[in-house]
Every structure is written in C-alpha cells, then in structure tokens.
Amino acid sequence: MAGHDVVTEAGQVRRYIGLTGQHAALDESLTGRANLVMVGQLCRLSKREARKRAGELLEQFDLAGAADRGVKTYSGGMRRRLDLATSLVARPSILFLDEPTTGLDLPSRMVTWDAVRVLAATGTAVLLTTQQLDEADQLADRIAVVDRGRVIAEGTSAQLKTKVGGERVQLTVAPESDLTAARAVLERHTDGLPQVDPAERTVEAPVVNGARRMPDIVRDLDAAGVLLDDLGIRRPSLDDVFLTLTGHAAQSEPPGHAPGRPAGQPKELV
Amino acid sequence: MTAASLPVTSPAGEPILTRAGWAVKNTWVLCRRSIARIAREPEQLSDVTIQPVIFVLLFTYVFGSAIHLPGGGSYHQYLISGMFGMAMAGTAPGTAVGLTADMSTGLIDRFRSLPIARSAVLAGRTLADLATQLLGIVVLTGTGLAVGWRIHNGIGDALAALALSLLFAFAMTWAGACAGMLLRSPESAQALGFVVFLPLSFVSNAFVPTQGMPGWLRDFANWNPISALAAACRRLFGGSPAINIHAWPMQHPELAVLAWSAALIAVFAPTAVYLYRRKVLR
C-alpha cells in the first residue's frame, strides 16, 4: 500500500492513511479544535501548522462556530464530521471510510459527500464501505459488492447495472382498471415478460430504448381503457444489482457471517 | 521501518527528529491531552482530591480513636504515611479506568491508525496519572498538616519519601495500564479497583499495625508493597515510634519500595505494551 508492505512496514503505511470508523473516535471532553490539533501534533505537524490545519478543517466541515466547544456538546452529525476531519489532518493519500454517513442527517451527509468528492478529485484514494447502495452509486468510481464476506461482483456502477439488465417500464394501474389489460399492452411493446404485482397494482417489464416506445405504450393503454396512477421508466438501481446478485436484501450483520455490504472505491488503490 | 538516520520527507515538511525523539514528543502530546481533559472535567480528580481527605478525616476522628499503636505515638502521624501508601497504589485503578474509557470511545482506535510510537499512548497516560498524583500528594500533605501531622526529619528525608512515593505510583500506573488493556469497560475497571485495590490497601500496615492480624494475613500484610511504602514514609517523615517487625521489607522499607517498584515496572510495563500491540494487531 502506497509502496509499502502493510505487514513489515506498518509504521510507514500509517503515515499515508486516514481512517474513519463507524463510531466517532474523538476525545469527548476536549474541544473540536483541541482534538484536531492533538492529532496534527501526533502526525508530526509543528504546533503552529497543527493549529492552522485544524482551522482549515473546521472551516471545511462547517464546524468553525463550534470549534471551541467540548465535543460532548456536539450533535451526532457534528461528531461524525469532526471525526472525518480528524482523519484528514495529515492529508492522507489513502482514506478508509467505514460507513461514514450511516445515521447522519441530510446536511451532514451532504458535507461528507462533498468532502469525499473533493478528496477523490484531488488524488486521494478513498475506500468507502456503505450499506446505502445509493451512496456507492453517487460516489464510487469502482464498486465491489461484498456479500457474506466475499466479493461477489466488481466494476463501475454502469457495468454492474448492465449485469441486471437495462431499463424497465413500470405502470401503476388505477384500482378501477384491469391489470391483465395493462399486462397485455406491455407484453406487446416491451422486450421481456411483464411482471404483475396485484397488491401494489404494478406491472413492469424490461425494455430497450424505453423513451422512444413510450408514446405507443401510452396510446395502446388509452385505447384499452386502462387508467394509470403512475407511469415511468426505471433504470436499475444498485439495490436491484445487489438483489439480483445475492438473491436477498442487503443485511447489516447476518449471524455468523461477515457484514454483507457493497464497497465503493472512487479511485484505484495504489 | 525507517531507520532513525533516514528521516522521511512528509508533505507538511515536518521537523526532523529521531524515532526516540518522536516517541518522546508523542508521549508528551498525549500526556498533555490527558491533563487538558482534567482541566475541563475537574470531577475526574475526585480520586486524588476528595477521597484522601475523606479517608484522613474518617480514620483520624472515627476509627483512629479505637486503634491502639503498639509502640505508642499519635495515630494521625501513623495514618498519613499509610495514606501515602494507599493513595500511590490508587493510581493503578485510575489508569485502568482512563484507558478503558479511551477504548470505549474508540479514541484508542484512532491512535492506532496514527503513525505514533507504540508505547506513547500508554506512556502518555501513565505520566499524566503521575502528574495527577502529584496533586494528590499536595492535597494529602495539606490535609495531614491540618489534622496535626508533621514532618519531623530533615527536608532531605521528606524529599526521599516523596521520590519513593512517586516511583511507586509510577510503577502502579503500569499495573493499571495492564488491567486497562485486559478489561472491557470503565465500569469493570472501577469494579476491579474496588475488589482488588481496596482490600489490598486495608490488608497492609497503612491504617492498622499488622501485629494484631492472624499469622498468614500478617505475613501477607508485611510483604504488601503498600506496607513497604507506608513504613518507608513513617521512617523518613519521622515522629512515629519504630515498630520492630522481623519481615525483611519492614526492616528495610526504602529498599523494599525500590525493589517492588522495579519489579512492578519490569513486569507490567512490557506486558502492557505487549497487550496494546496485540490489540493493534488484532
């Protein structure tokens, strides 16, 4: 890693990595600034540089106002942001993030995502694990899907999505209309067997070039007298990828197994 | 690992120090952090500030009135040296609680990911606890003087007693560091303090002379390192009639404190660092 052996040169490797775990690893009784300065000094910055770096990071992570308050008084989102800032003090070339946004409110998640994007764009390799497949989709250049401790698929988001097929047309049929009629229309205009969910009153089918075929579908549905509540083209999400690949929903901790979760990786590791 | 003579350039243009130099600096930063914590949460100090005062008052005015010293002499003169023994041993549970607290908040995990000397986390903590104990000594001395305890011998002897006390406290912090590495929560560290440290303090000559104890317990008490420190302080502060006990540590209490401290450090310091490393590798 970073040109060093992780076993024999662990000390060197530590100089190039940053780590943020699932739980904020901070000194609760110190201020946010003091936490950052301490880590800076431990990372061999001079006191002056450590203070300067702390100031920059507090600004970047929107914590300047709370910088001199005890971490104890921080909200969950602020803690996580400070925790992420802490792992960036030494400007690591490789950053490990273990579910950095789990349980975060939206503004904190946005700040975190922005930070990850900026880091990845400026040459930091970020290895991020997440349960939220949408997060991997948004952030990652390369994604490895891990199920029960094994990598079951790897590739870009687009590559993974092609594995489960392309677009799907999805209809939600109004209660007074006939599901079978809707199904028949979709069967004529799409490229696979439509699936009907009577409980949700939905019919969906795989389609190629869905946008171009939409007018025909709508015309025929109208002709057949089918009333719709909703109509759309759905592109597969990573959730679909995961479900297709594993045959089950993403689990946090299957008993007796390693956590099944996809890992995103915005940049190639060195 | 890079040799000390081959400093690596870092993007921040760090100052060039040898590995040992960095270990010392890391330790210092971590030690200051532990002390800064206390400044923000002074209630953490109750172990070394309030507790000794309560014990001195309790034993001077409540239990002491019923305790008869074989060689005569005043009980408070006897007690304060005993309190030195108990208080210095008390750094061990303090260290264990501090380390388990840092582990439970994940802070130790953070330190583990940083390029710092392996020993620095533990050394920073033990030195900070030693500094805390220095405050404890001031409180204890003040309380002692208030209840009538006096230093009868020269300043040299008094400083020797102080030095022995701090050495023993430092040795005990390493025992506490080991316990901290093995325990899971601050609560269990606190419980261990209660179950091990408190009985150990009482089965010594700290509060009562050992002569009245049953034979097997008396032997244990006479060889208890807390007894050695208490006896050494009694000799060095003066004013307590000599109590002649045949056991070697009671004949040579100063030497016994030195030997105990050296032995405790030799066993517990490397063990604590080993346990910390093992946690890191796990």
Optimal mutation site among B27, B33, B104, B281, interface A, most CBs of chain A within 10 A: B33
Evaluate if residue B176 carries a pLDDT over 90. Answer: yes
As for how many domains chain A has, the answer is 2
Residues A186 and A121 in one domain: no
> Are B149 and B77 within 8 A, CB to CB?
yes
Element (H, E) at B102: helix B91-104
Cα–Cα distance, B269 to B248 (Å, whole number): 26
Residues A193 and A82 in one domain: no
| A212 domain residue, yes or no | yes
Q: A69 burial class (0-12, 13-18, 19+ CB within 10 angstroms)?
A: middle
Specify the higher pLDDT residue, B5 or A48.
Answer: A48
A87-130: per-residue pLDDT in tens? 888 888 888 888 888 878 888 888 888 888 888 888 888 888 88
Residues A109 and A205 in one domain: no
Chain A neighbours among B 29-88 (CB < 8 Å)?
29-30, 33, 36-37, 40-41
Give the closest residue to B88 by CA, choosing from B7, B189, B169, B207.
Answer: B169
HSE (side-chain half, CA atoms, 13 Å) at B240:
26
CATH number at residue A178: 3.30.70.260
Complex-level ipTM: 0.76
Contact A27 B107 (CB under 8 A): yes
Evaluate if residue B88 carries a pLDDT over 60. Answer: yes
Q: Of B14, B33, B37, which is closest to A44 when you measure between CB atoms?
A: B14
Cα–Cα distance, B263 to B96 (Å, whole number): 19
Which residues, at least 6 apart from A69, have a Cβ–Cβ distance to it below 8 Å? A31, A32
The DSSP letter of residue A64 is: G
Minimum distance, in Å, between the CA of residue B122 and any CA atom of chain A: 14
Cα–Cα distance, B257 to B84 (Å, whole number): 12
Cα–Cα distance, B76 to B106 (Å, whole number): 44
Cα–Cα distance, A31 to A74 (Å, whole number): 10
pTM, two decimals, is: 0.75
| A136 domain residue, yes or no | no
Residues A16 and A114 in one domain: yes
Residues A111 and A170 in one domain: no
| A176 domain residue, yes or no | yes
Neighbours of A201 (CB within 10 A): 18
| A217 domain residue, yes or no | yes
pLDDT band at A258 (very low <50, low <70, confident <90, very high): very low
| A245 domain residue, yes or no | no
Mean pLDDT of chain A: 81
Residues A38 and A118 in one domain: yes
Q: CA A154 → CA A56, A108, A147, A247, distances in Å? A: 36, 28, 12, 17
The pair phi, psi for residue A8, each rounded to 5°, is -85, -20
Residues A191 and A87 in one domain: no
CB contact B275 to A (< 8 Å): no
Neighbours of A184 (CB within 10 A): 16
Specify the higher pLDDT residue, B9 or A186.
Answer: A186
Least trusted range by pLDDT, from A70-74, A156-160, A178-182, A193-197 = A156-160
Token pair belonging to A94: 């490789």
Cα–Cα distance, B165 to B240 (Å, whole number): 18
Residues A24 and A122 in one domain: yes
Give the closest residue to A262 by CA, choosing from A113, A102, A136.
Answer: A136
Token pair belonging to A239: 């959730």
Cross-sheet strand order for the sheet of A195-197: A195-197, A202-207, A167-173, A228-234
Contact A12 B14 (CB under 8 A): no
Cα–Cα distance, B5 to A6 (Å, whole number): 22
Residues A32 and A118 in one domain: yes
The chain B residue lying nearest A87, using CA atoms, is: B110
Q: What pLDDT does residue B145 have?
A: 93
Least trusted range by pLDDT, from A169-173, B106-110, B260-264 = B106-110
pLDDT band at A140 (very low <50, low <70, confident <90, very high): confident
> Are B91 and B176 within 8 A, CB to CB?
yes
Q: What count of residues does chain A have?
A: 270
- Full DSSP string of A160-176: HHHHT-SEEEEEEE-TT
- Unique residue bearing structure tokens 């045959």: A247
Give the type of residue at B50.
I
pLDDT band at A51 (very low <50, low <70, confident <90, very high): very high
Report CA torsion sign: A40, A45, A48, A49. negative
| A63 domain residue, yes or no | yes
A-chain CB neighbours of B99 within 8 Å are: none
Evaluate if residue B11 carries a pLDDT over 80. Answer: no
- Unique residue bearing structure tokens 């030095």: B163
Residues A121 and A172 in one domain: no
Which residues, at least 6 apart from B183, have a Cβ–Cβ distance to it below 8 Å? B96, B100, B189, B192
CB contact A151 to B (< 8 Å): no
Which residues, at least 6 apart from B162, have a Cβ–Cβ distance to it below 8 Å? B137
Which residue range(s) make up the domain with A206?
Answer: 166-235
| A29 domain residue, yes or no | yes
B222-272: per-residue pLDDT in tens? 999 999 999 999 999 988 887 788 889 999 999 999 999 999 999 999 999
CA-based R_g, chain A, Å = 24
Minimum distance, in Å, between the CA of residue A85 and any CA atom of chain B: 12
| A160 domain residue, yes or no | no
CATH number at residue A27: 3.40.50.300
pLDDT band at A28 (very low <50, low <70, confident <90, very high): confident
Q: What count of residues does chain B have?
A: 282
Neighbours of A195 (CB within 10 A): 14
